[in-house]
Chains A and B, each alone.
Chain A
Amino acid sequence: AQKITQTQPGMFVQEKEAVTLDCTYDTSDPSYGLFWYKQPSSGEMIFLIYQGSYDQQNATEGRYSLNFQKARKSANLVISASQLGDSAMYFCAMRGQNYGGSQGNLIFGKGTKLSVKP
Chain B
Amino acid sequence: DVKVTQSSRYLVKRTGEKVFLECVQDMDHENMFWYRQDPGLGLRLIYFSYDVKMKEKGDIPEGYSVSREKKERFSLILESASTNQTSMYLCASSRSGAFGYEQYFGPGTRLTVT
Contacts and interface: CB of A to CB of B under 8 A. Distances in A.
Interface of A: 31-33, 35, 37, 42-47, 50, 52-53, 91, 95-96, 100-106, 108-111
Nearest to B50: A103
Which residue among A42, A52, A108 has the maximum number of chain B CB atoms within 10 Å of its CB?
A108
Nearest to B99: A33
Contacts of A50: 100, 102
Interface string B5-32: 0000000000000000000000000010
B102 A35 contact: yes
Interface string B79-114: 000000000101010111111111111111010000
A42 B108 CA distance: 9
A31 B42 CA distance: 24
B61 interface: no
Nearest to A6: B42
A45 B2 CA distance: 13
Contact of A109 (B42, B45, B95): B42
Nearest to A55: B100
Contacts of B50: 102-104
B74 interface: no
Contacts of A33: 99-100
Contacts of A53: 99
A45 B58 contact: no
B93 to A, nearest CB: 9
Contacts of B110: 43
A88 to B, nearest CB: 13
A110 B42 CA distance: 4
B42 A104 contact: no
Interface in B14-66: 31, 33, 40-43, 45, 48, 50, 56, 58
